[in-house]
Structures are given as C-alpha cells and as structure tokens.
C-alpha cells in the first residue's frame, strides 16, 4: 500500500523552519539571560570589592594618622626625657638614671629588681667633746664655731648629704644574690653594700629567693663623659633605649 502525503511540501518546510527559528530564539534568550546574570554578578562583586577597598583605604589612613601621632608623641617624649636627664645631670653629681642603669647592668642572669628607694640624709657634723670644766667647754665651742665659719665657704653642700639606697629583688638562688653583691661592691658608684634579708619566695611551683640590700652612694664620685657613655651603652634594657 502506498502512503500518500496530502500536506503540501511548502507547508511542511515552513513548519520546520518556524520550529528551528523558535529553538534558536529560545537558545538565544537563554544565552542572553546567562550573560546578563554573569554581568550582574560581576558588577555586584566589583561594587563589593570597591567598598572593601574604600574601607581598607580608610582604615589605612586612620592607622597612618595614628602612627604619625604616635611618632610625634615619641619625639616629644624623647625631648622631655633628654631635658629631664640633662636637668638631673646639672643638679645631681650622679643622676638617678645613671645609678639605675648601673644597678641594672650589674644584675646577674635570672636576677630582677622589684624595689628601689633612694633616701638622702643630712650628715651631723657636731661631735660631742668630753670636757672637764666650763672654761674648756667654752673654748671648744669657740674653736668649733671658728672652724665652721672657715669651712662654710669651702665645703660642698653635696658632701653634707648621704644617699642611702634600699634595693629589693628576686633571684633564683643565694648564689646569684652573692654575685650581685660582689658586683655592686666593685662598682665605682656604691659603698657599704650589705645584705639585709634573703628569704624563700614561691611563685606557683618555682622557688626563688627574695632579697633586700642596702648601699650608699660614694661621696667623692665624679663621673666623666666617658663613664656616663659607658654606663649608657651597657644599659640594654634600661630607659636609655627609647
């Protein structure tokens, strides 16, 4: 049996062409939608990156401003410290900063300072004189007054003041305490270094020695510029490193 197609051939070709065009249009629409979505996603990411960049730039500017202010404060601090130290050097024969640097330089390994006090005391020059009569007492008093008047102009007021130093600290053992006392005894700044107390001190599971020392500042100390620079150069962990 022969199949007879009553549909015109032109009509069938037009239907096929319309179907193909429709498929192309759908694919084109899908492609454009995908491109549009990709473009929108890129734009959103770009805006997010721009916002993050602006935030980072703002924080960077704030940090730069803070660093600038910190550097200015450090510069002012250095100037103030230099002025204070210069004033102290003019007033005191041995600046306290130099004394502190010397005490720090002589610390053995493992030893640290926890307390430091400087006490200045006036020296009493009047000595008791044993007398046997009122005449001898009167003559001794006159001689004492004459000697005081003669030496008043030549005596340095700094020699009439004694500087006592109370030192407190913590050490691993008494060996380090003894080594510290030995070093301080050999110092050109100190005299009469003595141990007042050394007792056991526990920090959690570690046993240490808590010690107290006394010393006196030498009266005849005259530091040269080289001595001061030497003490400063050794003060690695002292106030000179600012």
Q: What pLDDT is stored for residue 181 in this prediction? A: 92
Per-residue pLDDT tens for 167-183? Answer: 999 999 999 999 999 99
pLDDT (mean) for 2-31:
76
**Sign of the Cα pseudo-torsion (84, 87, 89, 91, in order):** negative
Q: Do 123 and 177 meet the contact criterion of CB atoms below 8 Å apart? A: no
Q: What pLDDT is stored for residue 140 in this prediction? A: 66
How far is the C-alpha of 207 from the C-alpha of 198, rounded, in Å?
13
CATH of region 96-123+156-220: 3.30.70.60
Is the pLDDT at 222 greater than 90, yes or no?
no
Q: What pLDDT is stored for residue 13 in this prediction? A: 74
User: Which residues contact residue 238 at a Cβ distance below 8 angstroms, ignoring those fewer than 6 apart?
Assistant: 97, 100, 101, 104, 105
pLDDT (mean) for 51-69:
90
**Sign of the Cα pseudo-torsion (27, 31, 34, 36, in order):** negative
pLDDT (mean) for 64-75:
90
Q: What pLDDT is stored for residue 128 in this prediction? A: 45
CA dihedral defined by 3, 8, 10, 12, rounded to 10 degrees?
Answer: -60
**Domain range summary for the chain, segments of one domain joined by +:** 7-91, 96-123+156-220
């Amino acid at each position: 049996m022969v199949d007879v197609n009553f549909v015109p051939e032109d009509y069938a070709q037009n239907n096929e062409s319309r179907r193909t065009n429709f498929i192309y249009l759908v694919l084109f629409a899908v492609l454009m939608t995908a491109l549009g979505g990709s473009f929108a996603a890129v734009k959103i990411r770009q805006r997010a990156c721009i916002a993050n960049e602006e935030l980072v730039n703002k924080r960077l500017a704030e940090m730069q401003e803070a660093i600038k202010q910190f550097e200015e404060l450090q510069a002012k601090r250095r100037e103030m410290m230099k002025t204070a130290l210069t004033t102290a050097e003019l007033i005191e024969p041995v600046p306290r900063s130099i004394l502190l640097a010397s005490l720090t330089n002589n610390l053995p390994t493992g030893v640290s300072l926890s307390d430091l006090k400087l006490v200045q005391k006036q020296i009493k020059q009047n000595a008791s004189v044993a007398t046997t009569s009122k005449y001898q007492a009167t003559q001794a008093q006159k001689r004492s007054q004459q000697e005081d008047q003669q030496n008043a102009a030549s005596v340095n007021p700094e020699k009439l003041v004694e500087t006592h130093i109370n030192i407190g600290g913590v050490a691993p053992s008494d060996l380090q305490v003894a080594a510290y006392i030995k070093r301080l005894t050999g110092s050109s700044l100190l005299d009469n270094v003595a141990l007042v107390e050394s007792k056991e001190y526990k920090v959690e599971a570690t046993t240490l020695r808590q010690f107290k020392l006394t010393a006196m500042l030498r009266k005849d100390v005259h530091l040269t510029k080289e001595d001061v620079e030497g003490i400063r150069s050794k003060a690695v962990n002292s106030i000179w490193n600012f």
